[in-house]
Structure 1
Amino acid sequence: MKPPSPVDGSTLPDTAAERAAAPSGAPDILDAPPPVEPGPAPRRSWRDRFGHPARRPLLLGLAAALMLLIGGFGAGGVLVHDPVLTNSPLGFWRYGHGRELASVLMYGGVGLMVWAWILLGREVLAHRARGRAVLTTAAVWTAPMLFAPPLFTRDIFSYLAQGGLPLAGFDPYAVGPEALPGIFADNVHYFWQDTPAPYGPLFILIAKAVAWVTGDTIILGVVLMRLALLPGLLLFVWALPELTRRLGGRVSVALWVAVANPLTVIHMVGGGHNDLLVVGLLATGALIALRGRHALGIALVTLAMAVKASAVIALPFLVLVWAAHMSGSQRARIAKAIAAGLAVFVAVFAACTFAAGVGLGWLPALSAPSMIVNWMSLPTAVGEFTHTLLSALVNVPKQPFINVSRVLGGILLVYIAVRQWLAARDGGPDAVRRAGVVLLATAVLSPAMLPWYVSWGMALVAATAWSVRALQMTVFVSVMLTICYYSNGEDALYNPPYLIAWGLVAVLAAVSLVRPDPLRLSAGAWQRPRQEFPANIVDGAEQRTS
């Protein structure tokens, strides 16, 4: 006999297969309360409408977001010449002790955001926070980020400059921002000054439109660029609940992992990265394809690829989803689906290229990120570590070790992708899940990796079933990725004391997710038995007892 639901007393499916087969009249995917008996409709409070979010994590996360917003004006990706703060009574916030205080406020905000996220995660694991509550809480945390200076990055200035290049008559795939005179190029990080845009034609079109509307008002440009990327987050939030149902996960867990995550709130929104568009189009395209509208699904993922090329990895898996609905032998079905998918891809991508008024010069520019050398990329880390060991014995250059390990990493990535594609030949939700796995592998095994790259795979993997141990690992990785760059966008990956300190915070956060008082600091904690959440608490991975 199945246990009653913690909300309405009904029974819950034990397995992902049973959940997938549940009747369409089941409770709404956003965990809405069950229908009430006929009679006068009760008066609903605002908390009813927004899912009864827990006050403590909501308010703590809001306080953290405001700390990041205020601190960002002094210690974030600030302008070289700020037209508001420079030569004003508030100018002290950007210099000397003022900037140090701003930095303390920002890193304190990160820590408080992580704590709020953990508290929200406990509510989710204990079935006290449903999907709508998680979404409401994440929205409150995210709203202040829309108006903050760029946080932990300066990439948004590169976007604006790349949009300004075609307006000034330059090809953004042939020259870097340094060719553009004016305030946009002045604020681009020196590393990217002479680098052509590595982004697809759809994003160049968006950046061009924002730069045209903005003119030389760069503060307005930052805000408008965020708003232009916001539809990606909205698409993701729209698609994730149903995608989660189809992939066997639990909505509140998926939203907590992918939307309320500090990496999303602080980096993706606060940093203003165009990966927001990628994840929204990826998730929406995958869901539309699973609904049976295969051409539209492939078109949407093609649009994601027209923002960042990495999204192309999902297309062969959506072809398999399409093939499963065709007639004939498996080979014939896959061949027909490849032909149809290729036709959709060419038409959509050509339309984006024509609309943006650019050519295919961005393909050679895709090698630009490989100039980044950091150990977050697994092949680069192996090359650096091998060189460090051998350099103790003999003086040899580092780059050949990195080049060789990157080639081996590329071979391993191709092997993983082919194996996953062959295993997904039956199509269906499993093909989408495997696409997410390959996208995650792409982020880790590419020549260069940046924290927000993991969002590509998480856009799909977040919708699958999670174990508690996997959630704890996600907490640790998310915290480390959030702080591996300094608040002003500079690399912090080679600062051991800094990383060790935050590593301890990340471990404490991961443990705290399932152990409310891991340090035994509360009164009488040493006399009470230690309480932990059971390991089988997550739907899709749990084992229920009768």
Structure 2
Amino acid sequence: MSPTVSTESAPDWSERTDNTTADLASGGRRAGRPLPLRTIALGAIGSALLVVGGFGAGGTLVHDPFLGSGPLSVLRYGHGQDVAVAVVYLGFALLVWAWVRLGRGVLAHLVTSRGVLWATVAWLAPMLIAPPLFTRDVYSYLGQGLLALHGLDPYGVGPSALTGPIPENVHPTWQTTPAPYGPLFMGVAKGVVLLAGHDIIASVIVMRLVLLGGLVMLVCALPGLVRHLGGRLPVALWLVAASPMTVVHLVGGPHNDMLMIGLLAVGTLLALEGRSAAGIALASAAMAVKATAGLALPFLVWLWAARLTGPLWQRFVRAVVPALGVFTVVFGGCTLLAKVGLGWLSGLSAPGMIVNYLSAPTAVGQAVHSLVSLFGETNIWPFVGTTRTLGSALLVVLLVWHWWQAREGGPDAVRRAAIVLCCGALLSPVLLPWYTTWGLALGAAFAWTPRALSYVVGASIALVLAYYPDGEQAMYNWPFVAVGIGAALLGGLSLVRFDPLGLSEVVGRASRAPLASRR
């Protein structure tokens, strides 16, 4: 996005984005390639500003022991809070600018996976102590863990069943809502609360560190996934590790999707390498965190079947029977260890309480309702409910079709699993920004064109800006939405086009004007 030419960021589009033998042999680390220090520093400054501004504009505590009184309390009220919000958005702009610069270097083969990893570490480090950013979901996680720790069923009651600093910070929407997460995550949440006690700040940090293990698993799985699926390791790391979606939402949030995609990525790699039972086990554990991972499980069965001999249906039966056995053992074990029941299945509909147009079915329902409302006042829910049902039916059709097309196994099965995970996000009753990481976690390991990557950049910017730093949605603030769309277009273009605004040409003309006037 910078109009300044630098060897660190200028792309050479004669280079392809797919992998090369040399990249794979070296794990993406070639000698003689210096780290993009200025870009790393730029992103680190942006990340630090996000943290500083987040203390006043993020998901702050109702009764904050540090900011509730004293000189720093100015960040939480009036003009001080306005300044904090501005600092958050400035930090986000710098982070995006650094990410785009890093992406240019990656596409031009000037930045290796080592450089991307160092950037990721530098950009994530400040986030470890940040208040929740652009969401308050972590307080819901802790509230559900507290319920389980007190012997209450988190699938039957909401956090409001208890009192104290954790329940009081849960967003009002989720105060009485049962948990929609699997038993493994309920066990994790219970363990975090048990370890950190009622210190809510410590609890948020511990939860973030635990969930960060999912990102570590994803990063460790990517070299193997890239080897099997034909992508480039620096590109894959840039997409899913250094992305603002990861820095701001998955880690800054934090969100349990990070743990889910890490387990799923490692499970998929094991299945690709012939360790099918272990792969199914980890994918089942991912589903025990969040049910969405279950969309990928049928495709891993085809990977198992592809390594067997005999007719197709015979191989399928010989794979699906032990796969079901592994799933039952893992999922049942998680349920028993967490000491919870299967009530989470009924809680899966809880996010549907949110209505916004990021979800394609919901957007269609809202549009139809708006048209009908021109002729008289009507209730929105029959329209949204109908289109959401149609969206779910379409998802089932796509799942079955892609699953059957993937029957030969191999990389195509993983590609189709990634597509179905993306469809699962787009066709769900509600699409929250971090849901887009589900399919990208596997899809990042395939070959990408620069144009396709520019779309990811634009979507990432727009999705982060769909919410305010405190976690409330910003999608109906139309002037703000227009700014967000403009930023998304500028960011996407900046990856593939040097100086998309033509600022260098304007500056050049201005600098030549005095010379012309003296002639």
The Cα of 1:27 is off from its aligned counterpart by: 4.8
Q: How does 1:163-174 map to 2 (within 5 A)?
A: 163-174=145-156
**Larger helix fraction of residues:** 2
Contact 1:380–1:406 (Cα < 8 Å) also in 2: yes
- 2: CA distance, partners of 1:87 / 1:290: 55
Q: Are 1:385 and 2:382 an aligned pair?
A: no
What's the counterpart of residue 238 of structure 2? 256
Stretches of 4+ aligned residues off by more than 6 angstroms: 12-16, 524-528
Question: Alignment partner for residue 188 of structure 1, among 129, 145, 170?
Answer: 170
Q: CA 1:405 to 1:368, structure 2 compared with 1: closer, same or farther past 3 Å? A: same
What's the counterpart of residue 209 of structure 1? 191
Q: Are 1:136 and 2:133 an aligned pair?
A: no
The Cα of 1:279 is off from its aligned counterpart by: 1.0
Contact 1:27–1:33 (Cα < 8 Å) also in 2: no
The Cα of 1:292 is off from its aligned counterpart by: 0.7
Q: Are 1:108 and 2:90 an aligned pair?
A: yes
Query: Over residues 355-403 of structure 1, what are the superposed CA-to-partner deviations in whole Å (9 max), with x where a residue is unaligned?
Result: 0011111111111111111111100000001111121123222111111
Letter of the 2:54 counterpart: G
Q: CA 1:524 to 1:104, structure 2 compared with 1: closer, same or farther past 3 Å? A: closer
- 2: CA distance, partners of 1:15 / 1:198: 39
Give the 3-state SS of the residue equivalent to 2:474 in structure 1. coil
- 2: CA distance, partners of 1:523 / 1:408: 50
What's the counterpart of residue 58 of structure 1? 40
- 1: CA distance, partners of 2:349 / 2:38: 45
What's the counterpart of residue 356 of structure 1? 338
What's the counterpart of residue 4 of structure 1? none
Give the 3-state SS of the residue equivalent to 1:477 in structure 2. helix
Q: How many residues align?
A: 497
Question: Alignment partner for residue 394 of structure 2, among 412, 417, 441?
Answer: 412
The Cα of 1:491 is off from its aligned counterpart by: 1.0
Letter of the 1:67 counterpart: L
Contact 2:57–2:469 (Cα < 8 Å) also in 1: yes
Contact 2:23–2:232 (Cα < 8 Å) also in 1: no
Q: Are 1:440 and 2:418 an aligned pair?
A: no
What's the counterpart of residue 152 of structure 1? 134
Q: CA RMSD in A?
A: 1.9
- For structure 1, the residue ranges without an aligned partner over 5 or more in a row are 1-11, 35-47, 529-546
Question: Alignment partner for residue 210 of structure 2, among 225, 228, 232?
Answer: 228
Q: How does 1:450-461 map to 2 (within 5 A)?
A: 450-461=432-443
Contact 1:168–1:180 (Cα < 8 Å) also in 2: no
Contact 2:23–2:29 (Cα < 8 Å) also in 1: no
Query: Over residues 317-365 of structure 1, what are the superposed CA-to-partner deviations in whole Å (9 max), with x where a residue is unaligned?
Result: 0000000011210110011111111000000001100100111111111
Q: Are 1:322 and 2:304 an aligned pair?
A: yes
The Cα of 1:527 is off from its aligned counterpart by: 7.0
The Cα of 1:30 is off from its aligned counterpart by: 2.7
What's the counterpart of residue 63 of structure 2? 81
Q: Are 1:28 and 2:29 an aligned pair?
A: no
- 2: CA distance, partners of 1:223 / 1:130: 31
Question: Alignment partner for residue 51 of structure 2, among 47, 54, 69?
Answer: 69
Query: Over residues 84-112 of structure 1, what are the superposed CA-to-partner deviations in whole Å (9 max), with x where a residue is unaligned?
Result: 12222211111111111100000111111
- 2: CA distance, partners of 1:439 / 1:231: 21
Contact 2:301–2:319 (Cα < 8 Å) also in 1: yes
- 1: CA distance, partners of 2:458 / 2:17: 28
What's the counterpart of residue 468 of structure 1? 450
- 2: CA distance, partners of 1:439 / 1:477: 17
Letter of the 2:244 counterpart: P
- 1: CA distance, partners of 2:156 / 2:50: 36
Q: CA 1:105 to 1:246, structure 2 compared with 1: closer, same or farther past 3 Å? A: same
Q: CA 1:15 to 1:340, structure 2 compared with 1: closer, same or farther past 3 Å? A: farther
Give the 3-state SS of the residue equivalent to 1:511 in structure 2. helix
Give the 3-state SS of the residue equivalent to 1:513 in structure 2. helix
Contact 1:29–1:251 (Cα < 8 Å) also in 2: no
Q: CA 1:519 to 1:191, structure 2 compared with 1: closer, same or farther past 3 Å? A: same
- For structure 2, the residue ranges without an aligned partner over 5 or more in a row are 1-13, 511-519
Letter of the 1:363 counterpart: L
- 2: CA distance, partners of 1:454 / 1:244: 20
Per the normalisation by structure 1, the TM-score is 0.88
Q: Are 1:493 and 2:475 an aligned pair?
A: yes
The Cα of 1:13 is off from its aligned counterpart by: 12
The Cα of 1:71 is off from its aligned counterpart by: 0.5
What's the counterpart of residue 333 of structure 1? 315
Per the normalisation by structure 2, the TM-score is 0.93
Contact 1:324–1:427 (Cα < 8 Å) also in 2: yes
The Cα of 1:52 is off from its aligned counterpart by: 2.9
Give the 3-state SS of the residue equivalent to 2:314 in structure 1. helix
Give the 3-state SS of the residue equivalent to 2:496 in structure 1. coil
Letter of the 1:448 counterpart: V
